[in-house]
Structure 1
Amino acid sequence: MKNILILGFTILLFASCGKENKPKIVHAENNGKEIPELKKDTAFIEISDLPIQIDSTDYLIHPIGDFRIEDNRGKIIYKSSGYGSNNFKISSYGGYRISGDLNNVKFQHVDSEKLSSLTENVIKIHSLSFLRKVFDNTKKQLLIYEVTDRDTNQDGKLDFSDINTLYISKINGTDFRKLTDNNKELIDWKIIESKNRLYFRTIEDINKDGEFDKKDIVHYKFVDLNSDNLKVTEYKPI
């Protein structure tokens, strides 16, 4: 029994040592290098889900993501047939929200065959949400995106270990713009219907230790969705 306990403790020790606590951000002043812009990874094949049309809108939304299949040895292989259709799904849709790990989104008017890309930049889109209540109140058709747009921890890839940011666009993907400031982590966001405002919070790593914690500063901001310029305004509830 003693040997079993020692073996179990040893396994847990090695497992914990193997988990690397990556910082969310590596600051330029800490390592002398600016955050690099990543190039598109051509090792994977891009694939699109079938289009989604949000009711009351005139646009089809095509989610674009990476397609990869691994064999039982963990080796990545590619096939065009012989696999179940579930293996090819890259996003999910429900409650006016598309979620996944997307590289891009393409938009198509229902009366056209032309597809337009949201962006030419290398980003990861974790979700996009149609602001239905804002549309009901103002007839404006807007999309909100949660995006990773920079390799802030400088590990050579974009993923959930990097800073999450907030973007907005029109229903056709035009006027795609960033609402949060660089190097500030998005905490959460919500719509206040009575004011047609988008409220959100971010946190700033003021001590530049690469972590977001109670030692840092929380910023509070809102966007007046009644306005066409969608200006971001900071407010101080505390």
Structure 2
Amino acid sequence: MKHQYHWLGKITFVLFLVGFLFSCRAKVDRSTEQSQAIAQEQQKEPTISYGDLIIKEQSDYVMIPVNVQESNREKASILDSSRSYKENYSPLYNLIFYRKQDGETHLLLDKKAIINTYEWIETKSAGKPPTRVWLYRIIDQDTNKDKKLDSQDAVIGYISDVSGKNLQQVTPQNTKVLNWVVLPSQNAVFIRIIKDSNGDNKFTSADKTNFVRVSLEQPKMGTEIISESIEQKIKSYLK
């Protein structure tokens, strides 16, 4: 009888061991499958789509918007040949510049970013050739640290020539471009910005606004118009 119990104990142990090993193997297989699925998702190439041609007769270049198709967004749509891009459509990630004369092509950006808006600006002065540039609002840094680029991040002003080359940042880091006004007589643009002045990685009514003046003839980082001393004087008058 004891011999029989001894064998039953051995069989039970063997069955338990086999079941345990199969369970471990199943967990390993599931973990491997999940890892492979994540890796495949990360390696999946984006589906690129191209918007309507943007043509300016004054320019030797045609522009082609570069979008990425996303299942949860509407198809990209360029509003017209002169201005901007609706933010509620899929993001505009780049622009291809195609030279009409010989077909030479190049990209505006050499990094991941979102082009929020773009605008053709042309000014004319007596006795001088017209100044023509493209002015962009671009999101290129994850300023709120949520691991994605979107309208909650800083929106920086950039200017390029009509060929999409010589791209120059014209508004400070960690600011958001609100709007701008072109002053043809000065061959300049005044850009209104909001700064993350309280350091909370957000752009709200609690933050300070300012204006920067940028030359269209020789674009570079704009200088803020309202100084700290002027703002302190204004506050003192209001107390």
Normalising by structure 2, what TM-score?
A: 0.66
The runs of at least 4 consecutive aligned structure 1 residues that moved more than 4 Å come to: 40-43, 134-138
C-alpha distance in 2 between matches for 1:233 and 1:50: 36
Q: Distance in 2 between matches of 1:199 and 1:41?
A: 43
Identity of aligned residues (%): 24
Where does 1:171-210 land on structure 2 (aligned, <5 Å)?
Answer: 171-210=162-201
Instruction: Give the TM-score normalised by structure 1.
Output: 0.67
State the partner residue of 2:145: 154
Q: Deviations over 1:158-199 (max 9, x none)?
A: 111212121110111101121111111222211112222110
Pairing 1:96–2:114 present: no
Gaps of 5+ in 1: 1-39, 71-75, 77-86
On the 8 A contact 2:169/2:220 being kept in 1, the answer is no
The reply on whether 1:167 has 2:169 as its aligned counterpart is no
- The unaligned stretches of length 5 or more in structure 2 are 1-41, 231-239
- Against the structure 1 CA distance between its residues 220 and 98, is the aligned structure 2 distance closer, same or farther, given a 3 Å change threshold? closer
Q: Does 1:66 align with 2:68?
A: yes
* Greater length-normalized contact order (CA 8 Å, ≥ 6 residues apart): 1
Q: Write the distance in 1 (CA, Å) between the matches of 2:226 and 2:82.
A: 30
Structure label with greater radius of gyration: 2
Alpha carbons of structure 1 residues 162 and 214: separation in structure 2 relative to 1, 3 Å: closer
1:30 match: none
1:121 aligns with 2:107: no
Taking the aligned partners of 2:216 and 2:112, their CA distance within structure 1 comes to 27
Q: What is the one-letter code of the residue matched to 1:112?
A: D
Change (3 A) 1:41 1:179: farther
- In the TM superposition, residue 115 of structure 1 has moved relative to its aligned partner by 1.2
Task: Check whether the contact 1:63–1:91 (CA below 8 A) recurs between aligned residues.
Answer: no
Residues matched between the structures, number: 182
CA RMSD across the alignment: 2.8
1:9 is aligned to none
More helix by proportion, 1 or 2? 2
CA drift of 1:138 comes to 4.3
